Structure formats: C-alpha cells, structure tokens
Structure 1
Amino acid sequence: MEPAVLRRAVDAARATATELGLRVDDVVVVHDSDRVALRLLPCDVLVRVAPPGQLDDSAFEVEVARRLAAVDAPVAGLDPRVEPRLYVRDGFAVSLWTYYAPVTAETTPAAYADVLMRQHAALRRVELDAPDFTDRVARALRVVTDREQSPDLSDTDRELLARTLGEVSAAIGADRSGDQLLHGEPHEGNLLATERGPLFVDLVTCCRGPVEFDLAHAPDGVAEHFAQADLDVLHRCRAVNWAMFSAWRWRRTDQLPDRDHWRAEGLTLVRASLDRCGPD
C-alpha cells in the first residue's frame, strides 16, 4: 500500500480492535501488498485490512474461513474473541484472525500433499458459491489486453500472455467432470508452519476447478503423491498460473516488492511451463 493508505489501514485496524474490546498498544506490519496483514499487540490478533473496492472479496474470505472451520479444515481460523464477520471502517475491509507464532518445521512433499488432500476433502464437505477458476483467468486476460492497465508490457510478451490465458486455459476446461472447490493458490507462501501443524491462509482465492489447478501452485514433488493427477492438465495449469501471476505484475498499479524482477521471472516461467506442455 502507499504510505498514506497504509497509515489509514493501520488506524482502521487499531480502531476496530479497540472497539471490540481488544487492547492495542502496538502494531506490527506482517505483510504489505494490495492488502496488509497487521499483528496487534498485546491482544495478539492478526488483522487483515483491504482497501475500499475489495469489500466483497474480503467478505467472501471470511465466509470461506467460517465454513471450513466448521468441518475442521487445516486452515488459519478467525479470532474466537470477536464475532466472525467482516468489519468496515473508513471504507476499509477489516477481518480479525488468530495469530499463529511461526515454528521451524520442514514440510516434505508427502506432508504437503497430505495437508492439501485434507483441505480438498474439507472443501468437498461445504456448500459455497465460489467463482470458477476461469473467472480469475478472464480477469488476468483483461489486464493483458488493456494497454492502459499494462502499459509497460511489450507486444511480444502481451501476445504470449494472451495466448496462454486464452488458448491454454480453454484446453484445461475441456473436461470438467472432476471439478471441485479449491484453495486457489496453495503455494508455500500460503501454508503456515504452526504448533497445530501446517495451516492454509489467504482463502480469498477459493474457486472451483480441477485439482491440478491447485497442484500447479504446490512445490515440486507434491503432485507425485496425487495418483489421479493428470500430468497434461497439470502442465497446462502451471502455464496458466504463471501467466496470471505475470499479468498481475504488469499492472500499472501493482505494488509487489521487487516487481521488476518478478515481471521478468514470471515471463521466463510462463515460457518454461509452455515448453513442458509440448507442441500441442
């Protein structure tokens, strides 16, 4: 967030927690991107704050968390000391979550596969009106095809991303019989090592699609433990996922740290993923 927006987000988090009876003497920025994660002390709550315009997404994330908690899914939970809902302050979407102290623990591919399988099993037990993964692909495609949103993207790279997001994602959707609710982005940055074991965070990305779409975000070796995974679909999903990642980095408004590095790296990974898809 821009410094001025971040200050307002911190004020919104502090005021919301205080009104709910939680003591706040200090605020620590845990993660700062388009949304910010803040640790409030001494009440020790993690607050996620999204700017105006992301209220619907934040409300959806809270609803996903509530429903998954009811089926004992391996996800980070909302703070039990307050009502489990979205709060709005100064236009910001504010949600309060349990803070989990990080632990040093290596998650092997087998253990990663186990927690992802448990997450998928829990998602099959909930009823949720979630977007299709192709909706997210379409949003990324709009960024790529709109020169005002992505003015720095070269014609060659724009064509590469547009083709990947359009043609390759269409190939993924040829057979949708095995689709289910997914985490959406179960990469390593969204899996916390805690005393309770590994827990998924960032539930706003929940969507419906093939299991391979989730596996494409997981570390190398995890897919080997999913016996039913279709490797052709997996390779296509990896290409599309990196194309979406690249599309976000080329947005004029993107604020990811070290953005220039990730712009170049994302395109490299798209090309490498397409090579694995083969000539078709």
Structure 2
Amino acid sequence: MTTTGTEDVEELLRAACDQAGIDARDAEPIRLGENAIFRLPGGIVARIARPGQLDAATREVRIARWLADHDIAAVRALDDLGQPIEAHGRAVTFWHELPEHHKGTPAQVATALRRLHDLPVTEPNPFSALEPFVRLDERITAATSLTDDDRAWLHQHLATLRGSYNNLPAGLPHTVLHGDAWVGNVVATNDNQVVLLDLERASIGPPEWDLVSTAIKHTSFAWITADDYRDFCHRYGHDVTTWNGFTLLRDIRELRMTCYLAQHAAENPRAHHEAELRVTCLRGRNGPRPWSWSPAS
C-alpha cells in the first residue's frame, strides 16, 4: 500500500473518487511525492495536493479553465465537476489525461510562451501576482542534509535577493506567466501539439521570469547549445540576457533549483552530492558559470 507520510493516499484517492462519482479501480500511480498523481480508468488523471493546499488547488483549476477559454493549450480540468474535492484533509483535482507526449524543445517552449504572454491581462482573471520566493524559507529549513553553515548562508542569500527584487529594473510589460516554464512543464504530443503542464505557479508578473528558465539552461549549466538558445530567442522575439535585471532573476531561479533539491536530499541520499555541489557553486567556490549541475529528474 502506497503511503505519503502517515496518510494512505490510495484510501484518500478512493474517498475522493467516491465523492466525485469516478471509478477508482485499477488506479495506477504516475508520481508519488509532495503531489501524488494517479492514472484512472477513462482517460482521467487525479492529482492529490500536499496538505494545506485547498486554496491553491482551487486556483489551479480556475486557471486551467481560464486558459481553455482563451484557447491556450494546457492541461484540462474535468468539466461538470465541482473541484477540488477535499478528502482526508487533502485537495484532489481531476484532469483529462494527455495523449502520448514528450518533453518540449526550447523552440517549443518559446512558441508556447509567446502565445501565453500575448494574452491580454483583463479583469476578472484567476491570477495573483508572481511570488518568486514562495516556500524557499521552509525548503532551506527542511534541507537537513546540508551543514548548518550552508543553511545559514542560504537564508542570508535569500534575504539579500528579496531586498534586491524590491528594486527590480523595469523590463517588458507584465503578462500572464506560466511561472515554471521549462521543458518538463511544456510538452509536445505525438501530433505536435504543445501543451502547458503544472499550472501551480501561473501568475501575473514580468515575462522575463518565464524566459530566464530557458536562458540559464544555456548560460548557467550548458544544458542546451548556443544554437538552441538563439533559436529560442528568435522564436520568442527577445533575449532576456540583454536586460539589466537578468542576473537578479537568474540568481533567484538558481536558488529555487538548489533549495528544491536540497530539501529532497534530506530524504533521498542520492541527491545529497548534487545539493552540496549546487550550494558550493552559489557560494562562489566552484568557479564561474557554466556549472556542472545535473538536471533533476
């Protein structure tokens, strides 16, 4: 029986499906973690949020429906169902399963972001303002595999970046953002439809935030080639690395990537070396970029 913490997520899933009138037999786990995801019969996917995320799950469903109304290809919440369902204190949402798909290319990310960022920001809409530092304090605190000195430095680095963000240089007009736009969250189906996944961080804010995610794949880690990055900039129509606010958003994104892995390294020893490497790089102890980080799976 699969568990997350002390909760039996399979029992939780059955309870939510009973409320929704959905068949939970033969449920197949897709991913088990902070958010547990299951494949259900009939082309349905259930997503069980971490505790305390009822409001966030409600907002994510509203965002998915808003994007559908604006002809943006993104994951689709089931219609004709009041969502989320609350079961055992957890929020459960139900989605249409995507057809066969694979990670998008930088070019496909650029095309998807261009269309998303071109949407008019009109009222009413389900979006809140971008929160670039959400959950970082708690992730650092939970990163118990790191030394006390490293965690203290990360807290201080976070405080410094927060202060600098209050004076972020002017850039492109604020738009609808995906919030976590990388090739794992922008996928291509086998019929070449490009689809946005994971709408949890969708918000209103500087479009540079979405663009930095791909820029650092080249400038910070050399995960994509210079040609791929030039093509990304050409298709989107802007090179975020030429903006004088780039280094600040780069540093925030690198910190987010480090804190996510460092928190999970506390429970997954295989991630510990990579978490230490990332902190060492942020602290300036491993030379200039590009750094030899390994992409998180």
- TM category (shorter chain) comes to 0.7 to 0.9
Q: Which residue of 2 aligns with 1:215?
A: 211
Closer/same/farther in 2, CA of residues 157 and 5 from structure 1, 3 Å limit: closer
Read off the aligned partner of 2:60 and give its amino acid letter.
Answer: E
- Give the corresponding residue for 1:112: 109
Q: Is the 8 A contact 1:36 1:49 kept in 2?
A: yes
Mapping 1:263-274, distance limit 5 Å? 263-267=275-279, 270=282
| Aligned residue number for residue 153 of structure 1 | 146
> Match of 1:113, as an amino acid?
A
The percent identity for this pair of structures is 22
**5+ unaligned residues in a row in structure 2: which ranges?**
219-228, 291-297
2:40 aligns with 40
Partner of 1:216: helix, strand, or coil? helix
Shift of 1:69: 1.2
Q: CA RMSD in A?
A: 3.4
| 1:185 and 2:180 correspond | yes
Give the secondary-structure state (helix, strand or coil) at the position aligned to 2:252.
helix
Q: 1:136 to 1:108 in 2, by over 3 A?
A: closer
Q: CA deviation at 1:226?
A: 3.5
How has the CA–CA distance of structure 1 residues 138 and 34 changed in structure 2, closer, same or farther, with 3 Å as cutoff? closer
Paired residues, number: 269
In structure 2, do the counterparts of structure 1 residues 38 and 65 end up closer, same or farther at CA, with 3 Å as the change threshold?
Answer: same
The equivalent of 1:97 in structure 2 is 95
Q: SS of the residue aligned with 1:193? A: strand
Provide closer, same or farther for how the CA distance between residues 138 and 87 of structure 1 changes in structure 2, counting only shifts above 3 A: closer
Work out whether residues 146 and 276 of structure 2, in 8 Å CA contact, stay in contact via their aligned partners in 1.
Answer: no
Amino acid of the structure 2 residue aligned with 1:213:
W
- CA offsets, 1:235-278, max 9 Å, x none? 4322211202222333389657943244235436646899569x
CA shift, 1:150, in A, is 3.7
- TM-score with structure 1 length normalisation? 0.79
Partner in structure 2 of residue 197 of structure 1: 193
CA distance in 1: counterparts of 2:266 and 2:47, whole angstroms: 19
Secondary structure of 2:26's match? strand
The answer to whether the 8 A contact 1:85-1:95 is kept is yes
Offset from partner CA, 1:190-232 (integer Å, 9 cap, x none): 1232246111111111233321211122354134544344414
What's the CA shift for 1:45? 0.4
Distance 1:140 1:88 in 2: 26
Q: Which moved more, 1:7-16 or 1:65-74?
A: 7-16
Task: Tell me the secondary structure at the aligned position of residue 34 of structure 1.
Answer: coil
* 8 Å CA contact retained: 1:49, 1:92: yes
Q: Retained in 1: the 8 A contact 2:104–2:186?
A: no
Question: Do 2:29 and 2:37's aligned partners in 1 also have CA atoms closer than 8 Å?
Answer: yes
On the 8 A contact 1:33/1:256 being kept in 2, the answer is no
Could you tell me which runs of 5 or more consecutive residues in structure 1 were left unpaired when the two chains were aligned.
none
CA shift digits 1:30-74 (9 cap, x unpaired): 112201111012x22001001321212211211111211111112
**Counterpart check, 1:206 vs 2:205:** no
> Which residue matches 2:56?
57
Cα displacement string for residues 111-144 of structure 1 (whole angstroms, at most 9, x for unaligned residues)? 32111111222373564354443x3416414654
Do 2:145 and 2:266's aligned partners in 1 also have CA atoms closer than 8 Å?
A: no
Normalized per residue, the structure richer in helix is: 1
